[in-house]
Amino acid sequence: DVKVTQSSRYLVKRTGEKVFLECVQDMDHENMFWYRQDPGLGLRLIYFSYDVKMKEKGDIPEGYSVSREKKERFSLILESASTNQTSMYLCASSLRTDNYGYTFGSGTRLTVV
């Protein structure tokens, strides 16, 4: 069964810490995405990547950066965590030619205190 795996299910970090959220997919997908989901706001796209070492800003990139050194791994980085970054973070991947078939991970619930 194809998978998108997010390294942590729950995470608690302190304000000002640098936080790394890791995502790995085993489907050889070119495209990878990071969303955050908050009550009443739906899913919002933070960053995405079409290929290794490529990245594009989504709708809400402020306060975040990403890294894609290998095709299967896409990392989201919170440079200096703040309480307003407390959220559910979801990673997804898709084939380059597929605009529709996203496979999502189970999510990382991050709490910044």
Partner 1 sequence: LAKTTQPISMDSYEGQEVNITCSHNNIATNDYITWYQQFPSQGPRFIIQGYKTKVTNEVASLFIPADRKSSTLSLPRVSLSDTAVYYCLVPEGYSTLTFGKGTMLLVSP
CB of 109 to partner 1, least distance (A): 8
Distance, CA of 98 to CA of 113 (rounded, Å) = 38
- For partner 1, give the closer residue by CB, 38 or 79: 38
Q: Shortest Cβ distance from residue 15 to partner 1 (Å)?
A: 25
Residues binding partner 1: number (CB under 8 A) = 30
Residue type, 31: N
CB of 80 to partner 1, least distance (A): 26
Cα separation, 69 vs 75, whole angstroms = 9
Q: How far apart are CA 98 and CA 94, in angstroms?
A: 6
Q: In the structure encoding, which two tokens stand for residue 10, read together?
A: 């729950």
User: Restricting to residues 28-57, which ones interact with partner 1 according to CB under 8 A?
Assistant: 31, 33, 35, 40-45, 48, 50
| Residue appearing with tokens 């290998």 | 70
- Does residue number 87 form part of the binding site for partner 1 (CB under 8 A)? no
Query: CB neighbours (10 Å) of residue 45?
Result: 16
Binding site for partner 1 (CB under 8 A): 4, 31, 33, 35, 40-45, 48, 50, 58-59, 88, 90-92, 94, 96, 99-107, 109
